Every structure is written in C-alpha cells, then in structure tokens.
Amino acid sequence: MFGMIQLFLGTGLPVEYQVLSQLFGVSGGGFIALAVFFLFRKEKASPLNAVSKKAERTTLIRGEDGVLYEVPIKTPNSRFTLVLNIIWVVVLIFGFITQL
C-alpha cells in the first residue's frame, strides 16, 4: 500500500519536480517488488522463528492408534478475505488509471 501511494504521489507532481517524481516512482516500485517477493516466497524454517505459519494453523489430535496427528484448522472467512483483497487491488488500479 505504501508503494502504491508513492507511485500516486510521483505521477501527480508537476513537471518542475521531475527528480522528486522519479524518486517516488523508484522507491514505490521497490516497495511493491519487496511486497510481491514476500507474498510468494516459500516458508523456510529459521532458527530465530521456531514456529512456522503452518504450525500456527494446525492442532494436534490423537488418533485411535495413539499417534498424534497435525490437523489443519480451516479459517471460516479465508475466501472472503481473498475476494476482498482482490477487489481492493482492482479498485486501486482502476482509480490510478482513471486519474491519468
């Protein structure tokens, strides 16, 4: 979101502030690139973060054979949140395009 705001500010500046406009564009693009990288990167075990995101969304249940199994906990609104995020991005891009 911060990167998109920087891109909006960079395109909205007058021609006299071309250097500042380019700085906003480069740093905004950098923020968006980092956001995309962290969005799609694989979760790796880290010695500083012993608990993974997968372990946070699971619970241990003892089966009939006495062995513990990790069972995922389904969040009830995960698809709804995904749809809202997609709509937000589409509206943001549409607003950017119509502003030009």
pLDDT tens-digit map of 29-63 = 888 888 888 777 766 655 555 555 555 677 888 88
pLDDT at position 18 is 82
Q: What is the pTM of this model?
A: 0.41
Angle at 7 between CA 5 and CA 11, to 5 degrees: 120
Look at the block and give the residue holding tokens 């909205």.
12
Look at the block and give the residue holding tokens 């693009």.
29
pLDDT, the chain, mean:
77
Domain ranges, residue 75 = 2-99
pLDDT at position 46 is 58
pLDDT at position 55 is 58
Cα-trace Rg, the chain:
21
Beta-bridge mates of residue 61: 69
Could you read off the pLDDT of 7-16 as tens digits, one per residue? 777 777 787 8
- Contacts of residue 29, defined as CB under 8 A and 6 or more positions apart, other chains included, come to 3, 7
